[in-house]
Amino acid sequence: MGTPRHHHPLRRRAGQLLGVAALAPAVLLTAQAGPARAFGTVSAFGQHAEHEAITRAALACAPGTRSDGTCFEPRSLDQLAGHKGTFGAVGAPDTDEIVVPAAHCDNADFLATPGYPRDRADATRQLLACITKLQTRFTEGITAAGGTVAADGKVVPGENDLTKDCTFTLGIGGRDKCEAIEGLGRALHGVQDFYSHSNWTDKAADGPLGKDNPPGLDRPAPSPLLTLGTGRPPAASAVPADLTTGCFSLLPLGCARHVQHAGLNKDTGVIDPATGATSGPTTPRGKVAGNFDRAVHAAVADTRRQWADFRAALTARYGKGRAETIGCALTHDAPARDCAPKS
């Protein structure tokens, strides 16, 4: 990756870098070889690169067609979604934020039963912390995107070069297109995980409700809670009373009395990257009442919504003409050729 011309907030501080670098081998091994705790990022260990498939189903241009701004051409999509041997921007949190609950919307668990170890207010605070983090990532992407196009409105070739894959981990600086895609991708990861890790689209299994069978909200997507482009978290009152995500802990009994990630997630199964069609869910909750399919289709729908909102945020920040050129640069594989300035 080339050296950045200027600093973006997406890049972590040097002190954080050292800490992450020291932790990275163990974390990456956990992400790849341990039980899935998010839609999958690799095609192994029971995962089927679910994040990649969702992102491709949502944002890939039709084969052989140029982008109209709503979709990503193949090489640019490879950076966002990942491809064989890479995590892509959407998978980046599973390389260096695997134990950061807010990156995956974990630990906002709640059950309306006496003595539950987390009250509604605390669960809501945990959820809003996730949404705030995703909004920060989204905004970082908007900020970085400005460097893809010069002040005169022309594409900056070096900042959009995809001869080599982008690097999206360990705070390594890079080309502005890469950094813009990273901000968007990290935001999309959490958005997609929200549907897998929560009961937003779920139906509960038959039988008594409880921590091992929490209620399902059976709500449509996109969720109004995830309007990242506003830069403001939703009001606590907007969070449904029975909304829960799963408790995740590396300690064996850390979530023993909670609604657990292992029991609530819909992380793994087969997703057609062209259509989003699903089959073969493998988690207990995912096998119930089409829950995996609903979570995936919700994630696809919200991924499209987030990209539309990202483009709207570009316009709000940079003005219509420059924003259209920036959007073109992010989605096209040859932006220096294809993206003339907009007046």
DSSP letter string over 244-277?
Answer: -B-B--SSTTTTTTS-BHHHH----SEE-TTT--
Q: Which amino acid, residue 254?
A: G
| Reported pTM | 0.89
pLDDT at 178 over 70: yes
Per-residue pLDDT reduced to its tens digit, 32-63 = 334 446 765 655 556 689 999 999 999 999 99
Instruction: Give the pLDDT score at 309.
Output: 98
Which residue would you say has higher pLDDT here, 48 or 266? 266
pLDDT at 28: 38
Task: Round to whole Å and give the CA distance between 118 and 334.
Answer: 51
Asked whether the predicted pLDDT for residue 106 surpasses 60, the reply is yes
Write down the domain spans for the chain: 14-338
Compute the Cα dihedral for 99, 100, 106, 107 and give only its sign.
positive
**Interval 314-330: pLDDT, tens:** 999 999 999 999 999 99
For range 152-175, the mean pLDDT: 92
Decide: 196 and 264 in contact? Cβ < 8 Å: no
**Single-letter amino acid, residue 315:** T
Across 223-243, average pLDDT: 97
Confidence of residue 277 (pLDDT cuts 50, 70, 90): very high
